[in-house]
Structure 1
């Protein structure tokens, strides 16, 4: 038996979401262009678009692309999303929708289970880290979400020069908190970026699936709320799960 010393979390769709929710903004923009679709159809399409993003980011990190190349990527991302939602639209139309969405003010909101979860982890003496592929100042985001008092480290791809799923990213987090891979777990919503990346670094992963739609294989613990994390930690500490 061993004790988990550090719990790492992905940021977007794990601890926070866009406010308003992205499917709400998508539906509104599409309606303004004369296309009607329900929020549920958009929401169930996001795992496919996010899977495309993970593949592309691994092939060629998006942060390393030029402005025009990033615009092209996000046009294709939006196209995948809309097609998987059941809309037969052109790449040009998808590009137009994404350009309008990009111009909206971006605000984040915490999920309701975040603060109580972080408070409990801290009360148990565990260190908490946030690992994100954000290409912006993550400390500003953490401050805006009022998470600074709960976090021992926050690492972004902008800081370390690589992105998840690169194990170097996770190793940087381990070094920052001075823990071994066996003393840490990582919670995230992206199978390729979070689960496979953590495993490659020797860290036990937990997949959080808040939206109820996932393309991930059933080969790791999965939760729908952070409240479900604590029984998983107990089982990890009793070594019931492998890496």
Structure 2
């Protein structure tokens, strides 16, 4: 019987505001392009998937600052090409630098379906944990968005010393919850990080695929909204 549910942070519980595609559209249009946020969003979501798959193979924490920057620029250029935006020369670097400046002003907000789901989980007396690779003060973020009252604990990869999908952060969550793997579910939006990581230690994975980035996935529960999660708790 499920006694605990662990959640990923970005893309699962929270997203950026203003949305990244709005900021990137602003940057591009300021440089003479004509691109709407809607033109960018599908490609941006696929780029997130590609980033996490690449990062699972070689973490950005294990490479130099220059290598990280080059990886982000390459990722951005692939995303723009897929969206039909052709850039060359110094333009990828210029777009990246200007975007980075504006991204600094973004904040996190919760998806609309998060707090109602958290309330229902608490009414079921389930343990709720947060597992994230985000290198930030996650407790402060959770307080800011109103999530803190629902959480029993929050773990970051920086504190644990290992990123998802590696086992230590999932094992630390089980230790916090004082449960065995079969008594927990982990919900996340990235297959290579959340599904692979949870399954690797015996935790049941649920892929939250809000915008059908993983239509081919059939080897684990795949839901489009948080409200669908309750079907997998009994």
TM-score (norm 1): 0.89
Q: 1:16 to 1:91 in 2, by over 3 A?
A: farther
Name the CA distance, whole Å, in 2 between partners of 1:114 and 1:91. 43
TM-superposed CA distance for 1:91, in Å, is: 7.3
C-alpha separation in 2, matches of 1:167 and 1:101: 34
Per-residue deviation, 1:232: 2.1
Paired position in structure 2 for 1:32:
30
C-alpha separation between the residues in 2 aligned to 1:156 and 1:183? 21
Query: Which of 15, 39, 42 in structure 1 is aligned with 2:40?
Result: 42
- Match of 1:87, SS state, is coil
Return closer, same or farther for 1:203/1:118 CA change in 2, 3 Å cut-off.
Answer: same
Aligned position for 1:108 = 108
Residues 195 and 205 in structure 1, CA contact (< 8 A), matched pair in contact too? yes
Question: Post-superposition shift, 1:218?
Answer: 2.2
Contact 1:5 1:183 in 2 (8 A): yes
Relative to structure 2, which stretch is displaced further, 140-149 or 5-14?
140-149
Measured in 1, the distance between the counterparts of 2:139 and 2:89 equals 35
Are residues 93 and 218 of structure 1, via their aligned partners in 2, closer, same or farther at CA, if it must alter by over 3 Å? Answer: farther
Q: Which residue of 1 aligns with 2:203?
A: 203
Q: 1:179 to 1:112 in 2, by over 3 A?
A: same
Give the structure 2 partner of residue 164 of structure 1. Answer: 164
- Following superposition, which runs of at least 4 residues in structure 1 exceed 6 angstroms of deviation? none
How far does residue 188 in structure 1 lie from its aligned partner after superposition?
A: 0.7
Deviations 1:51-105 (CA, angstroms, capped at 9, x unpaired):
3212322222112333222222211221222122222223742332222222121
1:86-97 aligned at under 5 Å gives the runs 86-90=84-88, 92-97=90-95
Relative distance call for 1:122 and 1:101 in structure 2 (3 A) is: same
Q: Unaligned 5+ residue runs, structure 2?
A: none
Q: CA deviation at 1:174?
A: 1.0
Counterpart secondary structure, 2:233 = helix
Assess if the C-alpha contact under 8 Å between 1:43 and 1:211 holds in 2. no
**What is the correspondence of 1:42-121 to structure 2 with a 5 Å cutoff?**
42-90=40-88, 92-104=90-102, 105-121=105-121
Distance, in Å, in 1 between the alignment partners of 2:46 and 2:97 is 20
Query: Unpaired runs of 5+ in structure 1?
Result: 235-243
Give 3-state SS (helix, strand or coil) of 1:135's partner: coil
Deviation at 1:168, TM superposition (A): 2.0
Partner of 1:22: 20
2:179 aligned with 1:179: yes
Note the C-alpha offset of 1:211. 2.3
Is the Cα contact below 8 Å between 1:191 and 1:216 reproduced in 2?
no
Tell me how large the CA RMSD over aligned residues is.
1.7
Of 90-99 and 191-200, more deviation after overlay is shown by: 90-99
Q: CA deviation at 1:107?
A: 0.4
Give aligned pairs, total: 232
